Structure 1
Amino acid sequence: MSDQSLKRILDIPLEIKVEMGRTKLLVNEIIQFGQGTVIELHKLAGEPLDMYVEGSIVARGELVVINENFGFRITQIIKPEDRIKRLGL
């Protein structure tokens, strides 16, 4: 990749998500949500969280608190070969 090509992609904004867990619920359960409802996720407390960039998992890590905000500390980068395999390339 040329330096010019690289410069073009460096300013592209990407969406990053950190997923704490997932679950499936019935519509009936969802419409009964109210303030204070607790939803159990299918992930154990203390398990690594997954970080996705544009929908593809790229890292795992842990939740941290910075001042009064939440943050994400990366503890494992998914190998590029594994990320490419997930894309089906």
Structure 2
Amino acid sequence: MMLNKPNSTSDAGDSHTQFVELPELTPEAPAGPALLAGGSGLLDGVKVSLSVVVGHAHTTLGELLALKQSALLKIDRAVDTPVDVMVDGNVVARGQLVVVDDNFGVRITDVAPALRG
């Protein structure tokens, strides 16, 4: 699957958008240590909100208010940079953005050292 990014020049004239190909994945058994290796069963039912951060963009309020449909915001990460997996604002893992069926997903590539068993 490809992200639909038009192949055109932005209004600034110095950046080009391009198609980004994400690997299509089929479910497979995870390998390696668990994120919370040795964790207590008492915590298994605790719900948390997990976020995946692709990157950040810095702009002025004026530029933000002037945004229109099809405007482009360039974020601070290269296409091949891992995404951050965060819980309550803290990075707990990093991974690769992928496509699973018709949804985005994250293949975990690194777990935060403080959480390893």
If the length of structure 1 is used for normalisation, what is the TM-score?
A: 0.78
Output the amino acid matched with 2:110. Q
Match of 1:24 in 2: 58
The alpha-carbon deviation at position 71 of structure 1 amounts to 0.4
Question: Runs of 5+ in structure 2 lacking a partner?
Answer: 1-39
Which ranges of 4 or more aligned residues in structure 1 deviate by more than 3 Å? none
In structure 2, distance between residues paired with 1:13 and 1:80: 20
In structure 1, distance between residues paired with 2:63 and 2:98: 31
Output the amino acid matched with 2:98. V
Counterpart check, 1:12 vs 2:46: yes
Question: Runs of 5+ in structure 1 lacking a partner?
Answer: 82-89
If the length of structure 2 is used for normalisation, what is the TM-score?
A: 0.61
**Greater share of residues in helix:** 1
Structure ranking higher on relative contact order (CA contacts 8 Å, 6+ apart) = 2
Deviations 1:58-89 (A, max 9, x none): 000011101111101100001017xxxxxxxx
Give the SS at the match of 1:74. strand
In structure 2, distance between residues paired with 1:39 and 1:32: 12
In structure 2, distance between residues paired with 1:57 and 1:41: 18
Aligned pair count reads 77
Output the amino acid matched with 1:21. G
The alpha-carbon deviation at position 10 of structure 1 amounts to 2.1
Match of 1:43 in 2: 77
Match of 1:34 in 2: 68
Write the mapping of 1:51-62 to structure 2, written as runs, cut at 5 A: 51-62=85-96
In structure 2, distance between residues paired with 1:21 and 1:47: 9
